[in-house]
Structure 1
Amino acid sequence: MALHSGADARVLIIGCGISGIGAAQKLIRHGFRKVRIIEATSRSGGRIQTGGLDGKIVEIGANWIHGPSQENPVFRLACQYQLLDGECMSEENQSVDIGGLPPLFSTWLSSSGKKLEAEVLAPAVEVFMTLLKKSQEFYHSSRAPMSSVGEFIKREALRISNKEWKDDEAKKIRQAMFSTLLKLECGVSGTHTMDDVDLEAFGMYKSLPGLDCTFPGGYEGLITHMMNELPKDIVLFNKPVKCIHWNNIHNSQAQQSSSKQGLCPVTVQCVNGETFEADHVILTIPLGYMKRNHATLLNPPLPRHKLHSIQRLGFGTNNKIFLEFEQPFWDENSEVIFLLWEDEYDFPDPVSDMKTAWIKKLSCFTVLKPVERYGHILCGWIAGHESEYMETLPEEEVMHTVTRLLRRFTGNPTITPKKLVRSQWYHDPYTCGSYTYVAKGCSGQDIDNLTEPLPLTGSKAKPLQVLFAGEATHKSFFSTVHGALLTGWREADRLISHYNPAPKKITAHL
């Protein structure tokens, strides 16, 4: 049993992203009075970060509500706070089931500066989407025929295209389009290559119904509303954590004597030397940070099976490059502009010369709409090691390279963006990338292992000293904002039920 009521339990939440904020809200609503959030940076929101480009709102971090329907807690909160437009909240929008892939009006440009006919490419889009859907079905059925999503899609796409389009002159351009769509999928999954994504575990991810939508006033508006509901000064900013010392008390006798002195089983030590004592710590930090800092972050160190799961799970980078133009060079109704390299019809190996070829990983640009809100802004998407390399370049060099790319693909030598803003998630020291994916060789068990609180079940030490939340700890919604929020609530619920166990049902004997 617990030492005291939840009201007196000292709970420290590490990380002020949506997971940590959600956990704090829930605990406080259930009568926990001693809750603090410790945040390494000067801002709340974590990977939700709204920025600006010439006075226009752009999302440096999370972009969409994926699956805006009643099953999505982020959508429900956004509606509650009245942060969305009417179209997004409509019954019709909520009921569209697109399997996670919005049907966008696309423009296709080739590396020889030609605009390609959508009808010519449509069969290839259909083949790719069918294979992507099939890749998700191995999770529930028989064993996967190979280890990675990339291998499966490439093998099947080439087999189908060589058979069905054998004498079709469009065969090579359609195969080049497979390469572009694989690059896009790297961004969606947050990986360097789909060859690194496990085929059998790929289908663990679940998409919710609803046509993905954005926040007219920026995603950070959601964080602002949630923060406003928390007590003032609950968050300690600019306090990176150096080490979490847990299991300070090893036996129940020591626990009983220490409860009178107010000692706690967990001590959080910050980089600046400050320490904070707690009965429970909820760790909501990104998996990328855990991968890089697990050796020093916890003392005693993580149990081996938890550590192995952290190492097995994938955490990659997906960045955005926003460009503003005086006038659009794209069609008025265009929503996404895809770039097809004509020499990539045979799924070439990843680039060896990063310096000259990093830009080839940029798969497409999305058009920010509506024009009244954004003016003329494109968002380029780039994932993987090329994306990480892009972060290291001066902004002028990125601008120069992207301008050359656009001029080549449009055949228009005068195209000149006037401003650029980019994200740099890999070099963010407290994130170390974008989001989680199921890497080759990992399974749902790894997410279960990551989620398991410390000390482990069966230990005689005080339970629930360190709890784990964040998008990486959700089996179906890893990589999403709603996954992050749900896990914060889950760990808050774990503590709530620890202090208020459900009454046992008494069955009457007749």
Structure 2
Amino acid sequence: MFFAPGEPPLPTEESNYYWKVVWDLLEEAQRYAADHRDEISEETSFWEWLNHSYLNSKQSLHPERVQDYMSERLKQAIRGLVLYWADENAIPIENVSMKYMDAEEIFPGDHCLVTNGFDRVVKVLMSQLNKDATTVLMDHAVDKIEYTESEVRVSTNKGTFTADQVLVTLPLGVLKVHSASPTFFSPPLPTTKQHAINHLGFGTMFKIFLFFPTCFWPDKFHFINFLPSHLTRQPNPVLISRFHLSPQQQEALTVYMQDLANYSSLMHVYQLPILIGYATNRAAELMERLTDEEARMVYLCQLAHYFDILVSDKQGEGETLWPKVSFMSRWNQDPFAYGSYTSIPVGARPDDIETFEVPVGARRKKNVSKQIVDKNNHANDDDDDDDDDDNYHGGSLESVEWVSVDDPESGRVFFAGEHTSSGHFASIQGALMSGRREAAKILSFRAE
């Protein structure tokens, strides 16, 4: 179900109709991208196509012209509801690539919840390992990955390890921080990988679990959405005062209410009065900067714009409904994540994801020599090589320099993770599939 600003909840029939129109629209956009790929600029966004091509082709004057009729109310609802698709992909809608709207292949089946956490997936995988042949080390933070033609050296906070190959499953957000740094990858990754890392999007999906003492929202719906509107683009100052929001909280609330506010209710599924609130992109970043208590009050203030009972003064009824407990994610601030998952923004291509399917190797750079100071004080260009006397040859120094290359035949560094899964990025399934893909390559390499 969803709420429009200043109105009661839309009737189920009308709400379902709006959602059907939106899903049909998204399917049409994906078909259009596939059929007109060569005609669409890589800089064209889905938002631009929606407003300047699709909705402009609709008129609201003649309902009998069924093929091109759309009411102004429905147009406005579509502009709000399509934000759900962008939010699910953790990318601002104005950045969504129209050229590759069909890049992600959606798995068939119903929307499901994984109970008791995604660590259940990891536990199942670990239970399948050969305990005698496999060592799993936890809490090792990697500082550097060095590779040559013959081996890989991985330095961690608890020691250094060498191997024939290494599988890197660092999230794209971490790669964005470290990919070009010689202090992490040595040598730095090839330009193909760095280009992909820089161009692909990596947004943040923020979640907050609000544990209410009782259910005050319609309990038969699992998803609840609140459409953005000019009526609520600026939060109600009376409610801001009621919840004592600081300037930082007000900024987070204002940005959040400009988007489609999404909640999942666990009441219908588990009979628990718990709402899961979501925020993405700029709103998510602002939420993560708040304390748990501050974020909780921001969400309460947003809900109070639609549920007057939360601020009822009748025997203090309002505050008795406020949650005293909440949990929230902080993926954007996590140095082992720096975000949630991958998207294809304008300017990027599915090829950027596919480039990770090629492992990286190292090549010795030939004929590298540097003129140095000899013992008779002859002219020099480089005085930083005093420790390399073993390679001194009559006024010149031959040094070993490694450069990285994409090497599908004998690469040493392999990549897996959702950001490497063409067609299935931004999903747990894609991450799992990519791990199996790379494991097969490594096993094949070792068998040769």
> Match for 2:161 among 276, 297, 319?
276
- Paired residues of 2:228 and 2:261 also in contact (CA < 8 A): no
1:162 shift after superposition = 4.6
1:461 shift after superposition = 11
1:335 shift after superposition = 1.5
Give the equivalent residue in structure 2 for 1:484. 431
Give the equivalent residue in structure 2 for 1:496. 443
- Paired residues of 2:209 and 2:327 also in contact (CA < 8 A): yes
What are the within-5 Å matches in structure 2 for residues 188-337 of structure 1? 188-191=88-91, 193-230=92-129, 231=131, 234-247=135-148, 249=149, 265-270=151-156, 272=157, 274-296=159-181, 297-337=184-224
What are the within-5 Å matches in structure 2 for residues 24-35 of structure 1? none
Distance 1:461 1:114 in 2: 59
CA separation of 1:420/1:459 partners in 2, compared to 1, >3 Å: closer, same or farther? closer
Indicate yes or no: 2:83 matched with 1:136: no
Distance 2:111 2:83 in 1: 20
Match of 1:327, SS state, is: coil
1:282 shift after superposition = 0.5
Distance 1:121 1:215 in 2: 27
1:491 shift after superposition = 0.6
1:165 shift after superposition = 8.1
- Paired residues of 1:176 and 1:344 also in contact (CA < 8 A): no
- Paired residues of 1:283 and 1:466 also in contact (CA < 8 A): yes
> Match for 1:363 among 257, 261, 264?
261
| One-letter amino acid matched to 1:276 | F
- Paired residues of 1:186 and 1:194 also in contact (CA < 8 A): yes
- Paired residues of 2:201 and 2:345 also in contact (CA < 8 A): yes
Distance 2:30 2:56 in 1: 19
Give the equivalent residue in structure 1 for 2:247. none
| One-letter amino acid matched to 1:366 | S
Match of 1:202, SS state, is: coil
Q: Which moved more, 1:128-137 or 1:433-442?
A: 128-137
What are the within-5 Å matches in structure 2 for residues 95-174 of structure 1? 106=1, 108-112=2-6, 114-143=8-37, 145=40, 147-156=44-53, 158-159=55-56, 162-163=59-60, 173-174=73-74
Give the equivalent residue in structure 1 for 2:352. 446
Distance 1:218 1:124 in 2: 32
- Paired residues of 1:316 and 1:434 also in contact (CA < 8 A): yes
Match of 1:409, SS state, is: coil
CA separation of 1:406/1:462 partners in 2, compared to 1, >3 Å: closer, same or farther? closer
1:114 shift after superposition = 2.4
Give the equivalent residue in structure 2 for 1:405. 302
| One-letter amino acid matched to 1:319 | F
Distance 2:343 2:98 in 1: 11
Q: Which moved more, 1:285-294 or 1:237-246?
A: 237-246
Give the equivalent residue in structure 1 for 2:67. none
Give the equivalent residue in structure 1 for 2:382. none
CA separation of 1:389/1:164 partners in 2, compared to 1, >3 Å: closer, same or farther? farther
1:129 shift after superposition = 1.9
- Paired residues of 2:359 and 2:406 also in contact (CA < 8 A): no
CA separation of 1:456/1:439 partners in 2, compared to 1, >3 Å: closer, same or farther? farther
Distance 2:61 2:442 in 1: 58
- Paired residues of 1:282 and 1:469 also in contact (CA < 8 A): yes
Q: How many percent identity over aligned positions?
A: 27
Aligned length, in residue pairs: 369
Match of 1:130, SS state, is: helix
CA separation of 1:158/1:409 partners in 2, compared to 1, >3 Å: closer, same or farther? farther
Distance 1:489 1:419 in 2: 39
- Stretches of structure 2 that go unaligned for 5 or more consecutive residues are 65-69, 234-249, 312-317, 364-404
Distance 1:345 1:125 in 2: 22
- Paired residues of 1:245 and 1:298 also in contact (CA < 8 A): yes
CA separation of 1:186/1:497 partners in 2, compared to 1, >3 Å: closer, same or farther? same
1:137 shift after superposition = 1.9
Match of 2:214, SS state, is: coil
CA separation of 1:307/1:138 partners in 2, compared to 1, >3 Å: closer, same or farther? farther
Distance 1:178 1:121 in 2: 11
- Higher RCO (CA 8 Å, separation ≥ 6 residues): 1
RMSD of aligned alpha carbons: 3.0
CA separation of 1:461/1:392 partners in 2, compared to 1, >3 Å: closer, same or farther? closer
- Paired residues of 1:288 and 1:315 also in contact (CA < 8 A): yes
| One-letter amino acid matched to 2:135 | I
| One-letter amino acid matched to 1:116 | L
Give the equivalent residue in structure 2 for 1:339. 226
Give the equivalent residue in structure 2 for 1:472. 419
Distance 1:286 1:398 in 2: 26
| One-letter amino acid matched to 1:239 | H
- Paired residues of 2:145 and 2:155 also in contact (CA < 8 A): yes
> Match for 2:333 among 401, 423, 427?
427
CA separation of 1:119/1:487 partners in 2, compared to 1, >3 Å: closer, same or farther? same
TM-score normalised per structure 2 = 0.75
Distance 2:83 2:323 in 1: 24
1:462 shift after superposition = 8.3
1:110 shift after superposition = 2.9
